[in-house]
A and B are shown apart, each in its own frame.
Chain A
Amino acid sequence: MEWLVAAAIAALTASGVYLILAQRTYTVVIGLGLLTYATNLFLFATGRLAVNAPPIVGDPQAPHTDPIPQALVLTAIVISFGMTALTLVMAVRGYFESGGDDVDLLGPEEEVAKERR
């Protein structure tokens, strides 16, 4: 199972990083999403993987998983979800304001063309 989780995190991270390096904002947003999924999974796994064990420490001898990473993941999910929504809004606004979804800053030529329009 550890191998499986590690491979999943690795695949998500690799795809995320690949997509973040793209030229178009939409692709980058998808890449950021994948990267945050990978991060959340990783954070979840830092409490060590345990099957069929509750995240509640009642009797320290009984099987349990570490509850703190789960709480951290919850916070991280909320934040990353909100951030992805915000990035999408900004990407859409950027598309309508500049007429393209290129990631680069406007070059001097583009700015001049924009002003003339």
Chain B
Amino acid sequence: MNHWLILPILLPAIVAPLLALALRHDLTMTRTFSVGSTVLLVLLGGYLTAMASDGVTRTYALGAWGGPVGIVLVLDRLAAVMLLLTATLGLGIAIYSLSGCDKAGPHFHPLLQFQLMGLNGAFLTGDLFNLFVFFEILLIASYGLMVHGGGAARVRAGLQYVMINLVGSSIFLIGLGLIYGVTGTLNMADFAAKATQIAAADSALLQTGLALLVAVFGIKAAVVPLHFWLPGTYANAAGPVAALFAIMTKVGAYALIRVFTLCHGDAAGGAADWFASGWLVWGGVATLIVGTIGIVGARSLNQQASFAGLASMGTLLIAIGGFTPALGSAAIYYLIHSTLAVAALFLVIDMIIRRRTGFGDALVAAPRFVHGGLIAATFFVIAIAVIGLPPLSGFIGKLLILSAIAGQAPGAEGGGGVAGWPWLWGVILVTSLLALIGFAFSGTLVFWRRGSDGAAETAAPPIVVPMVAVGWLLACMVLMTLLAGPATDYFDQTAGQLFRPQGYLEATLGEAGGGGGS
């Protein structure tokens, strides 16, 4: 057993109560520990990503109860990449919050750590029920973060968010119950292996269970028509919280990839083949279109950023729904890029809100504000990344998706639902153009138009710390652009690993015999 695997869960799980109980009244220590913990998580994520690059699926059996009975954590390339992404985002948020956002309400840092713990656990777990438990951990933390700072609108939006997710949790449990009732297991690998052997009479129950799981992951991933919670939640949350939530939708996408690559193909002959039939592409197209309409029609910057997040989920879901290794690789690249880009967008909008006293993030002409030039330039660069224009990683991500779609043009094997590639190109390109128009409009209005009533400039809020945080996220995007070659190689191998789940199954179930060794 490799004890490194549990550290991404253990570290925030130790730091969070420490912050909440022992260091509650000491802001400096709280901040030091919180940032220190996220820095360690980044290093850990990097180490695990390097460790996973040899293609071996590593498992960690808690309490040395191996195999399908005990609780297992599984580290493969995808899990490692997601851990690194979570930590990278967490560090950006932690740094940004030092500029004063963490003082708007109690317990920002402990909740952030708990959220990171839940995210890391969800990415590492190899067990469906523990996926549910870690979902709940990250959701409970997100409920607290959602209402961070308070205010009537925020609490109302938070309440809606909590209610929708509680309904989602109930559906999740019912789906798990069905799956357990039919297959007698909740271990993902064991489930994938047993799904082939169920009686024909039970297959309808299994399909229902899987469909319920899709519904839950769809709520998390904000697939149209399950997206209604997203715009209200993101637009009403505090800036850094909304930025952190950029990865919450990706958890849904990750769960879809994880569960359905495992029970697809040879491993579970046909039980989940309907997933590969391409219906998710349609969901992705609808999400992309709704998101783009939102970007163009938004009445405030936060609303626009929320819909930009929704549109990026649409593009991502098209790639996931296509369900081929090439599209899977492109999807992972785009997933990482869009998380960083949308998070950076929310952070820069928060910087704008703190300077436009009386106008907030409303899309109206307002007096000039301090640091306008620098913030405008940052907004410009991030908007380019979000839209997917060259030279940043958004362009490469969309290019990879488009070329992967073209690669399975009519006639290619296993094209699934994306066989009609010319119109998918049209959808992705036209929505990109519309997003460009939307952001050009809002950027012009906020930074160039001047309101008639020239209000006095307010005292300058801190600029250095927020810019460091945004710069960190931007630097990661630049790094992804410069290292696009090695990165796509890694993601190609990741997708290869995902679409040949035998290694995963052997690693997880093989532990049953020699559990507890080494």
Which A positions have Cβ atoms within 8 angstroms of B? 20, 25, 28, 32, 35-36, 38-40, 42-43, 45-48, 68-69, 72, 75-76, 79-80, 82-83, 86-87, 90-91, 93-94, 97-99, 102-106, 111, 114
Contacts of A47 in B (CB 8 A): 180-181
A16 to chain B, nearest CB (A): 8
Given contacts A90-B147, A90-B155, A114-B152, 19 further A-B contacts (CB under 8 A): A32-B167, A35-B166, A39-B170, A69-B177, A79-B133, A86-B140, A86-B162, A87-B163, A90-B143, A94-B155, A94-B158, A97-B151, A98-B155, A102-B156, A103-B159, A103-B163, A104-B156, A105-B160, A111-B153
Q: What 6 pairs across the A-B complex have the smallest Cβ distances?
A: A98-B152, A46-B181, A46-B177, A94-B155, A97-B152, A43-B177
For residue B174, CB closer than 8 A to chain A, the reply is: yes
A sample of 14 cross-chain residue pairs with beta-carbon separation below 8 angstroms, ordered by A number, consists of: A43-B173, A46-B181, A68-B186, A69-B177, A72-B177, A80-B166, A82-B140, A87-B159, A87-B163, A90-B162, A91-B159, A94-B156, A94-B159, A105-B157
Q: Is the interface of B mostly helix, strand, loop or mixed?
A: helix
Most buried by A among B143, B147, B174: B174
Q: Which of B140, B163, B173, B177 contacts A28 (CB 8 A)?
A: B163
> Do A32 and B166 contact each other (CB < 8 Å), given the known contacts A42-B174, A46-B180, A79-B136?
yes
In the complex, what distance in Å separates the CA atom of A45 from the CA atom of B173?
12
User: Of B129, B143, B174, B186, which is within 8 A of A39 by CB?
Assistant: B174
Contacts of A99 in B (CB 8 A): 152
On chain A, the residues within 8 Å of B159 by CB distance are 25, 87, 90-91, 94, 103
Q: Which residues of chain A have C-beta atoms less than 8 A from B133's C-beta?
A: 75, 79
- Which residues from B are CB-within-8-Å of A45? 177
Q: Whole-angstrom distance between the alpha carbons of A83 and B159 in the complex? A: 12
The answer to whether A68 and B147 touch across the interface, beta carbons within 8 angstroms, is: no
Partner of A98, one of B140, B143, B156, B166: B156
When chains A and B are docked, how far (Å) is the Cα of A111 from the Cα of B176? 41
Docked Cα-Cα span, A96 to B325, in Å, equals 52
Is B178 positioned at the interface, with any CB of A under 8 Å from its CB? yes
Measured CA separation A91–B177 after assembly (Å): 30
Task: Establish whether residues B170 and A35, one from each chain, have CB atoms under 8 Å apart when the complex forms.
Answer: yes
B163 and A20 contact, CB distance less than 8 A: yes
Q: Which B-chain residue is minimally distant from A75 (CB atoms)? A: B133
Cβ-defined partner of B162 (8 Å) among A35, A87, A97, A106: A87
Total contacts A-B at CB 8 Å: 104
Task: Collect the chain A residues with CB atoms within 8 Å of residue B157's CB.
Answer: 105
Q: Main secondary structure on chain A at its contact with chain B?
A: helix
For the complex, is B277 an interface residue (Cβ under 8 Å from A)? Answer: no
Instruction: Confirm or deny: B53 has a beta carbon within 8 angstroms of a beta carbon on chain A.
Output: no
Query: Does B515 make an interface contact (CB < 8 A)?
Result: no
Nearest CB of chain B from residue A4's CB, rounded to whole Å: 18
A64: shortest Cβ distance to chain B, in Å? 14
Least CB distance from A82 to B in Å reads 7
Q: Render B127-161 as a binary contact track against A, CB cut-off 8 A, 1 for contact.
A: 00100010010001001000100111101111110
How distant is B155 from chain A, measured CB to nearest CB, in Å?
4
Q: With a CB–CB cut-off of 8 A, which chain B residues contact A80?
A: 166, 169-170
B160 partner residues in chain A, CB cutoff 8 A = 103, 105
* Alpha-carbon distance between A75 and B232 when the two chains are bound, in angstroms: 30
Q: Which of B34-48 contact A (CB under 8 A)?
A: none
Which A residue's beta carbon lies closest to that of B178?
A: A46
A92: min CB distance to chain B, Å: 10
CA distance A36 to B181 in the complex (A): 18
Q: Which residue of A lies closest to B172 (CB)?
A: A39
Query: Are B140 and A72 in contact, with the CB atoms below 8 A?
Result: no
In the complex, chain A residues whose CB is within 8 Å of the CB of B173:
39-40, 42-43, 76
Write out the residue numbers on chain B whose beta carbons fall within 8 Å of the beta carbon of A102.
156
Q: How far is the CA of A43 from the CA of B9 in the complex (A)?
A: 27
A32 to B166, CA, bound (A): 7
Bits for B332-351, please: 1 = Cβ < 8 Å to A, else 0: 00000000000000000000
Cβ-defined contact, A106 with B136, below 8 A? no
Give the docked Cα–Cα distance between A103 and B180 (Å).
35
CB-CB under 8 A from A98, the residues of chain B are: 152-153, 155-156
Contact yes or no, A43 B143, CB < 8 A: no
Q: State in angstroms the CA–CA spacing of A20 and B147 once bound together.
A: 21
Separation of A68 and B181 alpha carbons in the complex (Å): 11
Nearest CB of B to A24, in Å: 11
